[in-house]
Amino acid sequence: MESDPGQFNVPKGMLASSAPAAALAYRESIWLDLVGGMAAGSQEALSRLYDETSGVAYGLALRILRNKEDAEEAVLDAYSRAWRLAKGFDSSRGSVMTWLVMMTRSIAIDRLRSRATRDDRTETLDEPYHQAPAEGPDPELNALFRQQRERVLEALGRLPAEQCQAVEMAFFGGYSHSELSERLGVPLGTVKTRVRLGLTRLRAYLEDLE
């Protein structure tokens, strides 16, 4: 059964959706047109969307899976899913980039859960979010994503350590609240509070950095 990409509620700005606002809004309009082309059956539109955005998706998949071949397969699966689901894309629920990245995360975590022991999954947390995603062919777009990543890192750095840890483990490790409770040795209610407060503060910090 496929995981729900929207299960983890990501704050605005965390997935290259808001800054620099004007430049990314322009890109988003292009990507939205490409998704429309995919919905109409255009493989050229899929190819263009892949070329422009797959570097970010691959960076996330590699961060989670720590294996190039697995990351490449996860990204291909994600764009295959995007092709199938293009007709149902709803821009009111989020940006194209967020849609693609969350599908990639969902697939990567499904792969991680199917292959890994709990210790293997813990290893994915050894390298922080500071790791840069693979870059695509567009230098201007790469620069935008680097700026966005720096904003996210700055916002994460302002979180209390326990909240930052919980958010990173939930997003990159795919841990559920109950798994986090067991892993961190704290009550379930404490885990839920840390994640909720961490995401709330992260959202506020990212808005401050607009």
| pLDDT per residue as tens digits for the range 100-146 | 999 999 999 999 888 755 445 444 444 444 444 555 556 666 677 77
Alpha-carbon distance of 186 to 208, in angstroms, equals 31
| Cα 26–chain centre separation | 20
- pTM of the complete model: 0.72
The answer on pLDDT for 155 being more than 60 is yes
The predicted model gives 153-158 an average pLDDT of: 85
What DSSP designation does 14 have? T
Under CATH, to which class is 21-153 assigned? mainly alpha
Q: Which helix (H) or strand (E) holds 54?
A: helix 43-65
Mean pLDDT of 157-186: 89
Of 146, 150, 207, 153, nearest in space to 18 by CA: 207
Q: What is the per-residue pLDDT across 15-55, written as a single tens digit (0 to 9) for each?
A: 544 445 667 778 889 999 999 999 999 999 999 999 989 98
Mean pLDDT of the chain: 80
**59: which DSSP letter?**
H
For the segment 155-184, the average pLDDT, to the nearest whole number, is 89
